[in-house]
């Protein structure tokens, strides 16, 4: 089937949706979690639209309205913040002073309840953001695995911290303590996984949290609200909804937020950080913009380079911060690369998220198709060509991928992070051009090198080691495995996330020390044996 025919038959009628993937809509969600209780929001609601459209009997298509979610205001958001502040109680609250083993038990209880909601969350991931069934299941399962790995890592960290150290006559125990109240916000492309990679470490280290779901992917948090409520003490986790300018701005301006965990644009993060009146008190954990380049060298396994580049550029329609956003291809291998890439593109199946083998799905962000078309038209007007048949075709919320070449520095697509299925290819003759691009870029998350000349690869690794957070050789850019550090330079990130690093970024090392004297050692022994302190302890968590 041609791409044009595929687009014309893309959106189904209601009757063609498999029974197991249907939703009972509209979903009017008014509940939010505040201070250990589910409250009902009686104020205005925001409409929640699906990227999925339905075709009616007369042939016209209509975007599905999934339901609505609370459009909370500053007053409601500040009430949630105050609940978190009370629960933390300047570090004296029950949660921050709880023994590590007890906090772990609370998180394990939440995980058990979360697993019971797998089907509901997966279905909403498909309908709210257009994520394929396979990828939605993978996101849910990976999030659960991340929680398990976080628990295991904390156990190991606590075991290492349970011993005393003797240095220059000073006896001490170094343990990690929470930072305070955390504001956690995730992105719409991974509204569960990316959010929980900050939310869970923040909680398990003893911080209290205000959590605002992503702008798209709000309804999928609803099945987890009871699990949050029943698994944590009142005020430890509070869930709010609404527009960021009405809620988050007020939270930051209050000065009561101690940790700001945010995944979005560097401009958005900068604007919010500026609102905080105590900038030196605020710790920021940020995942921001990225324009990750893929660099194809003349000596290369083209089949592998194309396969990795297609996946890297188009997984979840290119809506990933780790996606390959621009490809530099040496001119000697340019044409065979484009030919193979175009052929591989033609094999990708467009369709609805629940369809078997689907690779291309509708886009959830309003106005995204028009934005991508603007980038496309700008590139075409300045000399680029669409290489693949049907590239750039559009229907409602769907944009068919376009492979563009030659792309040059005077085009918007060369500089802007498209965050969608446009693949700009820049031909180059001299590697100095590519190196200069990376050095001058405002972003420094990752890049990919494709080649098999050890001398050339080695030199490029050295050239880029101080420019990006991760260099991928003959493979696409990606976040995982979750035990590897995930960070970035320049405007791409602040702080490092991984199972190991996240526990540290949401806590601070605290030292209890005394002179190495018998009376002091006897005092410490009595404190530990009598379990007079939750912090000073030699407990070993199995």
Kind plus residue range of the DSSP H or E element containing 172 = strand 170-178
Length of the chain: 542
Closest residue by Cα to residue 115 from 262, 268, 223, 16: 223
Average pLDDT of the chain? 95
Within the chain, which residues score under 70 in pLDDT?
A: 1-5
Query: What are the structural domains, with CATH classification, of the chain?
Result: 19-287 (3.40.605.10), 293-491 (3.40.309.10)
Could you check whether the bond before residue 98 is cis, i.e. omega within 30 degrees of 0? no
d(CA 126, CA 197): 21
Q: Give the number of other CB atoms < 10 A from CB of residue 470.
A: 20
pLDDT of residue 159: 92
Closest residue by Cα to residue 529 from 521, 537, 540: 537
Kind plus residue range of the DSSP H or E element containing 106 = helix 100-115
pTM: 0.94
Q: Give the number of other CB atoms < 10 A from CB of residue 141.
A: 14
pLDDT of residue 9: 85
pLDDT of residue 532: 94
φ, ψ of residue 85 in degrees (nearest 5): -65, -45
pLDDT of residue 206: 98
- Residue 118 contacts by C-beta under 8 Å, 6 or more apart in sequence? 137, 140, 141
d(CA 461, CA 10): 43
Ordered strands of the 422-428 beta sheet: 385-386, 402-405, 422-428, 324-330, 292-296, 446-450, 470-473
pLDDT of residue 413: 98
pLDDT of residue 3: 60
Question: Could you tell me if 285 and 440 are in contact, meaning their C-beta atoms sit under 8 angstroms apart?
Answer: no
Task: For 191-200, write each residue's pLDDT tens digit.
Answer: 999 999 999 9
Query: Which structure tokens are listed for 83?
Result: 């609940």
d(CA 35, CA 86): 9
pLDDT of residue 541: 86
d(CA 63, CA 365): 12
Q: Where are the beta strands (DSSP E) in 216-336?
A: 237-239, 259-263, 283-287, 292-296, 324-330
The DSSP secondary-structure symbol of 439 reads H
Look-up of token digits 């569960």: 192
The CB-side HSE value for 313 (13 A sphere, CA atoms) comes to 28
């Amino acid at each position: 089937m041609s791409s044009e025919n595929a687009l014309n038959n893309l959106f189904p009628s209601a009757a063609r949706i498999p029974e197991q993937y249907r939703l009972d809509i509209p979903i009017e969600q008014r509940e939010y979690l505040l201070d250990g209780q589910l409250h009902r929001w009686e104020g205005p609601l925001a409409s929640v639209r699906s990227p999925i459209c339905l075709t009616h009997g007369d042939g016209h298509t209509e975007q599905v309205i999934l339901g609505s979610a609370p459009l909370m205001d500053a007053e409601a958001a500040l009430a949630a913040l105050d609940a978190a502040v009370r629960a933390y109680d300047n570090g004296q609250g029950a949660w921050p002073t709880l023994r590590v083993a007890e906090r772990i038990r609370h998180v394990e209880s939440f995980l058990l309840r979360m697993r019971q909601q797998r089907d509901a969350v997966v279905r909403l991931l498909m309908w709210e953001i257009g994520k394929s069934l396979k990828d939605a299941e993978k996101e849910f399962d990976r999030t659960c695995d991340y929680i398990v790995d976080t628990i295991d890592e904390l156990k190991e960290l606590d075991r290492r911290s349970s011993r005393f150290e003797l240095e220059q006559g000073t006896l001490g125990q170094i343990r990690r303590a929470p930072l305070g109240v955390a504001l956690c916000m995730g992105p719409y492309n991974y509204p569960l996984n990316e959010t929980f990679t900050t939310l869970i470490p923040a909680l398990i280290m003893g911080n209290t949290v205000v959590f605002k779901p992503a702008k798209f992917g709000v309804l999928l948090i609803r099945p987890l609200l009871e699990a949050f409520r029943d698994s944590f003490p009142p005020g430890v986790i509070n869930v709010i909804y609404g527009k960021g300018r009405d809620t988050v701005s007020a939270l930051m301006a209050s000065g009561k937020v101690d940790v700001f965990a945010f995944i979005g644009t560097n401009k958005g993060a900068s604007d919010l950080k500026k609102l905080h009146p105590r900038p030196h008190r605020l710790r920021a954990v940020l995942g921001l913009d990225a324009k990750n380049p893929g660099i194809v060298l003349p000596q290369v396994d083209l089949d592998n380079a194309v396969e990795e580049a297609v996946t890297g550029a188009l997984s979840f329609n290119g809506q990933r911060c780790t996606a390959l956003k621009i490809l530099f291809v040496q001119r000697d291998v340019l044409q065979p690369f484009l030919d193979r890439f175009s052929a591989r593109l033609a094999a990708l199946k467009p369709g609805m998220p629940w369809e078997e083998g689907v690779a291309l799905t509708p886009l959830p962000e309003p106005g995204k198709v028009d934005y991508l078309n603007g980038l496309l038209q700008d590139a075409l007007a300045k000399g680029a060509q669409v290489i693949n048949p049907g590239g750039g075709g559009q229907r409602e919320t769907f944009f068919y991928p376009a492979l563009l070449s030659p792309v040059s520095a005077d085009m918007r697509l060369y500089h802007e992070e498209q965050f969608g299925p446009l693949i700009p290819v820049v031909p180059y003759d001299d590697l100095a051009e590519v190196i200069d691009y990376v050095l001058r870029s405002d972003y420094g998350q990752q890049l990919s090198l494709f080649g098999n000349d050890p001398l050339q690869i080695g030199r490029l690794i050295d050239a880029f080691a101080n420019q990006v957070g991760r260099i991928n050789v003959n493979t696409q850019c990606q976040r995982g495995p979750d035990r590897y550090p995930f960070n970035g330079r320049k405007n791409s990130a602040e702080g490092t996330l991984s199972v190991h690093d996240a526990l540290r970024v949401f806590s601070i090392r605290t030292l209890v020390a005394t002179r190495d004297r018998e009376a002091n050692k006897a005092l410490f022994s009595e404190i530990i044996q009598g379990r007079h302190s939750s912090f000073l302890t030699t407990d070993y968590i199995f």
